């Protein structure tokens, strides 16, 4: 009798567990359907915002909120709560609930605030920005950014080692999307917060607008060429006097250079305006250049803004063609070729500098004064910042601290959030052959090592499309590689923080390489000579600092045409 009672009790318990499991499975199916719908609506919301359809964006947001709330509700009933506390499936169910909650929170806290921002407040009208409206937008953007970052922190704290593959992949995908969203909201909130003082809300400001020339490569993008002075007061912006780096001459005595940078590049960054950015830290380069301009002209700028001709091509899509004194009108399709190829063919050295200064100033003036579509213009800025083609440094430390390590500042931080490898380029030819170079990089995450480290394998290729004859002396320059059409490039590889570069080969053979350190990163430098039509390949083995991450990032010198890149991830070392 006792055995029969125990048997019956056992059957009842098993039946209840099976029933509960079936209910949880049903609710999980519902949650999955709602989450898929929410994902599609999120993409539609992005398209509505970019397209400027505010009314449709509001309707899409309402539908997104409904689906996100339903997904959250499906994962919060008593059956799901009990399931989260069972062995094996508990972690998976808790993670699904967290994913649903994260999307619901974003749909109600971050997205509405972003939709309330009037994008027209972020672009100038007739050379002026409305600082009052900008401050209002700053509050909305700060709130949205806090919501995004809170959500990212909650998701980042979830251990993934015991999750089933499907849920682990969904969590990884959501983390990546929120990382990208956080980059956008963070940059927008930082910019809106710091723009009023930058634009002269507290008194007049002056900045140097510097054109980086990727035809002669430097680590931050290109040699600093022409510059113009930007004046800002109470939101109104105008362009002042212009000059060129050639007019600044050599700094005598040389400016002080940080010891680690000096060991890599001697005193060159502190001596010549063309060499201030041999290292990849834009704040260092900008501060050196500002001081060189101050010594020569007496202008003590409040900061430095750097752009390149590719940025001008993006802006011209918003402004339309812009006339330039002494040359043909600049268009989005032709400006890069015009400035980095045709100008060297058609103009002498002194005329080139003047034309470059006039071109950058004309496009910038059109941006300030023309009525353009705010979304197109902001899209151009967003792409330029993402590609590290627009860089800014403030001489006011408090403002620089607000900008932090964002892409706009052009910094390689001392501490990685994920293992980050830097590949930076400097011309060693004394020429303008960078226009003809094409680069690719692949980074593969390898095996887990002792002490929590991870192996990385990096491949960099350099290809030259230069002709074998017909270029002017303005392009072939000093020909330091020994043959006028051979491009020499110094390729500098920065390890992840706390990591190391274990070795490198050029075209499969051991080659001599220099080295050093820079802000907790090991640095290796290789010299690569490339003849017209040829391709050279560098292979490096690196090791990270302590990390369990299966992902990695690349930070690259912007070039005339975008790099071809690939990052091959691997499972986390915790799995």
pLDDT of residue 120: 67
Q: What is residue 227's three-state secondary structure?
A: strand
Rounded distance, CA 405 to CA 283, Å?
Answer: 11
CA distance to 108, 123, 352, 458, 537, per residue, from 442 (Å): 39, 37, 36, 6, 11
- CA angle (558 as vertex; 340, 269 as ends), nearest 5: 85
pLDDT of residue 14: 31
pLDDT of residue 132: 83
pLDDT of residue 404: 85
Q: What is residue 519's three-state secondary structure?
A: coil
Exposure string over 147-170, b if 16+ CB within 10 A, otherwise e: bbbebbeebeeeebeebeeebbeb
What does pTM read for this prediction? 0.83
- Please write the tens of the pLDDT for every residue from 500-533: 999 999 999 998 899 899 989 999 999 999 999 9
Bridge partner list, 442: 459, 566
pLDDT of residue 254: 93
Helix/strand/coil percentages in the chain, nearest 5: 50, 20, 30
pLDDT of residue 80: 58
Rounded distance, CA 298 to CA 295, Å?
Answer: 6
Q: What is the CA radius of gyration of the chain?
A: 27
Q: Is the previous residue joined to 190 through a cis bond, with omega within 30 degrees of 0? A: no
Which of 470, 473, 382, 351 lies closest to 188, judged by CA? Answer: 382
Q: Rounded mean pLDDT of the chain?
A: 84
- Please write the tens of the pLDDT for every residue from 546-555: 988 888 999 9
Tokens 């590290």 sit on residue? 388
Bridge partner list, 204: none
Below-50 pLDDT ranges, the chain: 1-24, 26
pLDDT of residue 471: 93
pLDDT of residue 26: 46
User: Which backbone phi and psi does 205 adopt, to 5 degrees?
Assistant: -130, 155
Across the beta sheet with 521-530, what order do the strands follow? 514-518, 521-530, 487-494, 420-427, 553-556
- Torsion sign over Cα 103, 107, 108, 111: positive
Question: Per this entry, what is the length of the chain?
Answer: 575
CA 111 distance to own-chain centroid: 22
Q: Are strands 454-464 and 535-543 parallel, antiparallel or unpaired?
A: antiparallel
């Amino acid at each position: 009798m006792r055995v029969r009672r125990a048997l019956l009790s056992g059957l009842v318990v098993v039946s209840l567990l099976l029933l509960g499991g079936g209910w949880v499975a049903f609710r999980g199916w519902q949650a999955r359907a709602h989450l898929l719908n929410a994902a599609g609506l999120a993409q539609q919301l992005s398209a509505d915002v970019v397209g400027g359809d505010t009314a449709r964006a509001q309707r899409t947001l309402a539908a997104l909120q409904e689906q996100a709330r339903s997904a959250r509700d499906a994962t919060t009933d008593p059956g799901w709560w009990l399931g989260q506390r069972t062995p094996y499936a508990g972690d998976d169910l808790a993670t699904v609930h967290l994913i649903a909650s994260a999307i619901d929170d974003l749909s109600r806290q971050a997205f509405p605030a972003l939709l309330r921002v009037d994008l027209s407040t972020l672009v100038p009208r007739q050379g002026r920005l409305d600082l009052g409206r900008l401050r209002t937008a700053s509050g909305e953007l700060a709130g949205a950014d806090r919501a995004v970052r809170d959500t990212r922190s909650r998701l980042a704290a979830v251990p993934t080692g015991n999750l089933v593959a499907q849920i682990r992949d969904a969590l990884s995908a959501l983390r990546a999307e929120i990382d990208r969203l956080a980059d956008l909201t963070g940059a927008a909130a930082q910019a809106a917060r710091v723009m009023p003082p930058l634009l002269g809300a507290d008194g007049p400001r002056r900045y140097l607008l510097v054109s980086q020339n990727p035809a002669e490569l430097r680590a931050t993008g290109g040699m600093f060429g022409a510059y113009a002075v930007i004046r800002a007061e109470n939101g109104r912006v105008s362009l002042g006097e212009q000059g060129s780096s050639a007019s600044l001459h050599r700094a005598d005595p040389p400016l002080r250079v940080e010891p680690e940078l000096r060991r890599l590049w001697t005193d060159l960054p502190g001596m010549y305006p063309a060499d201030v950015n041999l290292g990849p830290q834009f704040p260092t380069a900008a501060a050196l250049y500002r001081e060189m301009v101050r010594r020569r002209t007496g202008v003590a700028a409040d900061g430095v803004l750097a752009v390149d001709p590719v940025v001008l091509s993006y802006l011209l899509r918003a402004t339309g063609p812009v006339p330039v004194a002494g040359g043909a009108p600049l268009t989005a399709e032709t400006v890069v070729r015009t400035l980095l190829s045709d100008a060297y063919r058609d103009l002498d050295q002194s005329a080139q500098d003047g034309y470059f200064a006039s071109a950058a100033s004309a496009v910038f003036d059109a941006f300030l004064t023309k009525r353009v579509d705010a979304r197109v213009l902001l899209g151009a800025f967003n792409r330029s910042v993402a590609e590290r083609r627009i860089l800014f440094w403030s001489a006011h430390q408090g403002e620089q601290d607000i900008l932090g390590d964002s892409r706009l500042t052009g910094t390689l931080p001392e501490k990685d959030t994920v293992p980050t490898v830097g590949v930076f380029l400097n011309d060693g030819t004394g020429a303008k052959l960078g226009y003809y170079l094409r680069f690719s990089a692949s980074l593969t995450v390898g095996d887990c090592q002792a002490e929590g480290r991870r192996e990385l394998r990096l491949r960099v290729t350099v290809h030259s499309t230069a002709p074998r004859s017909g270029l002017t002396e303005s392009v072939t320059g000093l020909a330091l590689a020994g043959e006028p059409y051979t491009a020499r490039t110094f390729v500098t590889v920065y390890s992840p923080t706390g990591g190391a570069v274990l070795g490198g080969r050029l075209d499969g053979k051991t080659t001599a390489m220099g080295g050093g350190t820079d802000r907790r990163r090991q640095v290796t430098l290789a010299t690569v000579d490339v003849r017209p039509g040829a391709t050279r390949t560098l292979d490096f083995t690196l090791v990270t600092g302590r990390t369990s991450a299966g992902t990695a990032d690349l930070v690259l010198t912007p070039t005339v045409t975008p790099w071809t890149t690939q990052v091959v991830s691997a499972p986390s070392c915790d799995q």
